[in-house]
């Protein structure tokens, strides 16, 4: 077996050209963008994502361990509605990220806290990439309580 040409570690996961050679699965999302260079610059330079594969017809970035493929398909871009993706972070990390991005992104929802002081407290904000894809940044005070399933 040849050595990986460009390996990216995420915990015990190694990614080589889209092949999962570790024990953990890799979550993958493909999204349409209006301009590949503009989107690559946003995800890498503004959000701080690591750059993955780069091809003429797509670019991969690593968004908090998730492989996000950016495809230049402006005709597929439409109103986001409820559609979004995101990441849940510890509260201090969320506040640091929001502060770093402030003034550099288009906020859809400013940082706010729902259900303050309860076990399901969550702090969140939403932003849009240059193509209008919505990204949610969030923190749960108690992830176990916030994600608990109702009794059967």
For 39, list phi and psi in degrees, rounded to 5: -70, -40
Q: What is the pLDDT along the chain (152 residues), one digit of tens a residue?
A: 233 334 444 333 344 445 555 567 889 999 999 999 999 999 999 999 999 999 999 999 999 999 999 999 999 998 777 889 999 999 999 999 999 999 999 899 999 999 999 999 999 999 999 999 999 999 999 999 888 888 88
Residues 70 and 43 sit within 8 Å (Cβ to Cβ):
yes
Show the domains of the chain with their CATH numbers. 8-76 (3.10.180.10), 85-146 (3.10.180.10)
Q: Report pLDDT for 23.
A: 60
Q: How far apart are CA 40 and CA 29, in angstroms?
A: 15
Q: Helix, strand, or coil here: 64?
A: coil
Q: Whole-model pTM?
A: 0.80
pLDDT, tens digit (0-9, with 9 covering 90-100), for 128-150: 999 999 999 999 999 998 888 88
Give the DSSP H/E element, type plus range, for residue 128: strand 122-128
Longest dimension (CA), the chain: 54
Residues 4 and 16 sit within 8 Å (Cβ to Cβ):
yes
Q: How far apart are CA 123 and CA 113, in angstroms?
A: 4
In sequence order, which residues have a C-beta less than 8 Å from that of residue 141 and are 6 or more positions away? Answer: 91, 119, 120, 121, 122, 123
């Amino acid at each position: 077996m040849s050595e990986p040409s460009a390996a990216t570690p995420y915990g015990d996961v190694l990614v080589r050209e889209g092949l999962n050679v570790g024990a953990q699965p890799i979550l993958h999302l493909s999204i349409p963008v209006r301009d590949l260079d503009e989107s690559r610059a946003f995800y890498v330079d503004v959000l701080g994502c690591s750059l993955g594969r780069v091809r003429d017809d797509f670019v991969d970035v690593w968004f908090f361990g998730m492989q996000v493929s950016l495809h230049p398909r402006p005709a597929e871009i439409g109103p986001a509605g409820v559609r979004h993706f995101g990441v849940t972070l510890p509260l201090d990390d969320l506040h640091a990220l929001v502060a770093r991005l402030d003034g550099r992104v288009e906020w859809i929802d400013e940082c706010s806290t729902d259900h303050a002081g309860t076990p399901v407290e969550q702090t969140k904000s939403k932003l849009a990439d240059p193509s209008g894809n919505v990204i949610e940044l969030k923190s749960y005070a108690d992830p176990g309580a916030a994600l608990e399933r109702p009794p059967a």
